Amino acid sequence: MNVSLFLTCVNDTLFPGTGKAVVHLLERLGHTIDFNPEQTCCGQMHYNTGYRDETVPLVRRFVELYEDAEAVVVPSASCAGMIHEYYPKIAETTGDSALEKSVSELLPRVFELSGFLVDKLKIEDVGAYFPHRVTYHPTCHSLRVLHVGDAPLKLLKNVRGLEFAELPNALECCGFGGTFAIKNSDTSAAMVGDKIHHIKQTGAEICVAADNSCLMHIGGAMSRQRSGIRTVHLAEVLASTEEKPGGKQ
């Protein structure tokens, strides 16, 4: 299958290793990857902070770039959730029936990474090797917007060498929420404090999630606490093999 990679802003600017991991992983599974350098933001930040008219050009841009794609993979549950949940609503507000039709036809071909592997390709064992004790933080957008279910857990539990540790109170938000962490910094700090307390309880070396934005928030707070616990995106765990070990050091 020819897969188009929609990398997302946070990954592109702060975590390019995640995009490289997706490419390595999907190529290892026999797929070809197309990366369009003209891609832009999905518009989530604009939409969530009330700049909804400004989101329309970004929806049009996404449709123009990917309307002919066989599959679009997004290594971010947050951005994939934005596309699936809100693009139809945004298109409807424009009164542009052609845009509504294009969004409707494209959405079934847009996937968050774990959903693409488990639900579309029917693969739960990607042949990864990652010899670490790992816990998993199910981000709010992956759970409550995109509804990825247990796809990430199915993939992690088939990684050779990986020791999985259940995260207590896993469904609680980490307190990031984009601009929420800026506008409500005290509340956000308290929430991530609770999250780190639970991560420490697992005895894990590494906290994994499907959103680098949440991992950035959690990882930053854990670094200031000198916890010694690292954060790694799910894609980097799945891309790791004995021959090509991965994950941020």
Residues 84-112: tens digit of each pLDDT = 999 999 999 999 999 999 999 999 999 99
Dist CA 240 CA 20 (whole Å) = 11
> Looking at residues 219-223, what average pLDDT do you find?
94
Write down the pLDDT at residue 245.
Answer: 83
pLDDT classification of 127: cutoffs 50, 70, 90: very high
> Looking at residues 115-132, what average pLDDT do you find?
97
Is pLDDT at 249 greater than 60 in this prediction? no
Q: Longest Cα pair distance anywhere in the chain, in angstroms?
A: 53
Dist CA 204 CA 224 (whole Å) = 17
Is pLDDT at 148 greater than 80 in this prediction? yes
Catalogue the E-assigned strands of the chain.
2-5, 32-34, 71-74, 110-112, 133-136, 163-165, 206-209, 230-233
Dist CA 191 CA 137 (whole Å) = 13
> Looking at residues 148-174, what average pLDDT do you find?
95
pLDDT classification of 248: cutoffs 50, 70, 90: low
Dist CA 43 CA 30 (whole Å) = 31
User: Coil, strand, or helix at residue 217?
Assistant: helix
Write down the pLDDT at residue 149.
Answer: 86
pTM: 0.93
50 — alpha (psi -120 to 50), left (phi > 0) or beta? left
